[in-house]
Amino acid sequence: MRYAPIDRQLFVKNRRKFTERMKPKSLAVFHSNDTYPISADSTLPFQQHRDLFYLSGIDQEESILVLFPDARSEKHREMLFLRQTDANLSVWEGQKLSRTRATELSGIQTVYGLEDFEKLLHNLMPEVDHLYLNRNEHYRASAPTQTREDRFIQWAEREYPLHHRARSNPILQHIRSIKEREEIQLIQQACDITEKGFRRALRFIQPGAWEYEIEAEYAHEFLCNRAEFAYSPIIGSGQNATVLHYFKNDQACRAGDLVLMDVGSAYAHYASDMTRCVPVSGRFTKRQKAVYNAVLRVKKAAVQMLVPGTDWKAYHREVGQLMTAELIGLRLLDQADVKNEDPDWPAYKKYFMHGTSHHLGLDTHDYGLLWEPMEAHMVFTVEPGIYIPEENLGIRLEDDYVIQVHGEPRNLMQNIPIEADEIEDLMNAKSEREKPLIASR
């Protein structure tokens, strides 16, 4: 792993939070992700299942975590099953986690080889009434590919049809949404690395720069700081900025356009999520600045609502009203549009068609039950936007916030410039000889 070791007490606390919510005489199983094939003998880079990492800190493929708090034998209350290193594996891939190292990372004392899992589970199941199975139930989940968890569920239902089933995900949705101090520190570290990437990219942007070259500036800074992209970066200039999930990043930036950068680093799998829009030529036009400042005003007002007790749906309705007023001020809507709007798709949705906020953590769109009120120590993005394709203009502004017990939420990206005048000053502080040479294409 590239990131610095995490204090194992974080994972000890996370397991305790989960097991305290389990039913009596129940056992929970969590699997790592698969390593997914591309073609021939190629595979995608391995990414650990966030639930298993959250509960154990183990960042290795083919790993299994078992939690059985009511086990008769204390050594069976927390168990890891890991792939062991053999002579062939040692030559081709190097050493896998030793049992000692796995305990150091996780705080779990009982570590077995992966080959022992089915036999030991079979021996423990007579003590078990409820078997907790884990599936991705996130409200935005789309999983056309069968996972190791899916295959285990099918196997467990076939092998143990008389045991009661229980779902791990509702517990995880709640406990993962409320962050521990150590988790907030890791998200802050990811945000700080994103700031470094933004400031680096800002020095590079000028007419003729290619979107993928701007992406490369972020990639350089992230890798040098032991981080990676938290999600596929969006670097969209001109018309491309009006496409919400634009990902090609293959066009040249033109003078007079804005470039939208939706980019975040992930450090130790903890994500950041930033969006900034800057003028390619270093100065906003009057119209661009008017739209930019309208988005910024909505963002600042939305932030004030991130307090304990806020209802998710009510929050978004109020943000929609704020955006409606701004769009009227920009002459993109009028009172007739509002009067005649469809309640299920308000008039403002023509120019601001996505949500304002989402949970942030180990996943960019992190776990969180949207029917539960907001609580202290939850982390949310705030990202309003206005998209006007007929003007080749798309503006979205986004920072990451921790809800506090009292007062305003804490902005983890407070050091990343966002005011239009500050952006212009930074871009025009460069002398011509300081600007990087843009290769001709």
CATH value at residue 408: 3.90.230.10
Please check whether residue 123 lies inside any domain of the structure.
yes
Same domain, yes or no, for 164 and 191? no
Q: d(Cα 53, Cα 314) in Å, to the nearest integer?
A: 33
Same domain, yes or no, for 119 and 172? yes
Interstrand relation of 130-133 and 164-167 (parallel, antiparallel or unpaired): parallel
Please check whether residue 382 lies inside any domain of the structure.
yes
User: Can you give the pTM of this predicted structure?
Assistant: 0.95
Q: d(Cα 259, Cα 278) in Å, to the nearest integer?
A: 6
Same domain, yes or no, for 381 and 330? yes
Q: What is the pLDDT of residue 432?
A: 45
The number of distinct structural domains making up the chain is 2
Please check whether residue 229 lies inside any domain of the structure.
yes
Q: What is the pLDDT of residue 150?
A: 95
Burial of 86: CB neighbours in 10 Å, binned 0-12, 13-18, 19+ = exposed
Among 143, 177, 211, the domain-final residue is 177
Q: What angle do CA 367, 372, 373 make, to 5 degrees?
A: 110
Q: What is the pLDDT of residue 441?
A: 47
Please check whether residue 324 lies inside any domain of the structure.
yes
Q: What is the pLDDT of residue 144?
A: 85
Residue count (the chain): 441
CATH (domain of 108): 3.40.350.10
Same domain, yes or no, for 235 and 251? yes
Q: d(Cα 151, Cα 165) in Å, to the nearest integer?
A: 15
Local structure of residue 265 (DSSP, 8 states): E
E strand residue ranges, 63-149: 64-67, 78-82, 110-113, 130-133
Same domain, yes or no, for 274 and 301? yes
Q: Give the amino acid at 16.
A: R
**Residues 399 and 382: beta-carbon distance below 8 Å:** yes
Same domain, yes or no, for 163 and 274? no
Domain that holds residue 126: 9-177
**Residues 253 and 208: beta-carbon distance below 8 Å:** yes
Same domain, yes or no, for 152 and 193? no
pLDDT, one tens digit per residue, over 128-152 is: 999 999 999 998 888 788 999 999 9
Question: Can you give the pLDDT of all 441 residues of the chain as single tens digits?
Answer: 799 999 999 999 999 999 999 999 999 999 999 999 999 989 999 999 999 999 999 999 999 999 999 999 999 999 999 998 777 777 777 888 999 999 999 999 999 999 999 999 999 999 999 999 999 999 888 878 899 999 999 999 999 999 999 999 999 999 999 999 999 999 999 999 999 999 999 999 999 999 999 999 999 999 999 999 999 999 999 999 999 999 999 999 999 999 999 999 999 999 999 999 999 999 999 999 999 999 999 999 999 999 999 999 999 999 999 999 999 999 999 999 999 999 999 999 999 999 999 999 999 999 999 999 999 999 999 999 999 999 999 999 999 999 999 999 999 999 999 999 999 999 998 644 355 545 544
Among 159, 177, 195, the domain-final residue is 177
Same domain, yes or no, for 247 and 105? no
Same domain, yes or no, for 117 and 185? no
Rounding to the nearest 10 degrees, give the CA dihedral for residues 96, 97, 98, 101.
150
Rounding to the nearest 10 degrees, give the CA dihedral for residues 155, 159, 165, 168.
-40
Among 160, 177, 194, the domain-final residue is 177
Same domain, yes or no, for 330 and 411? yes
Tokens of 286: 């009057």
Same domain, yes or no, for 319 and 386? yes
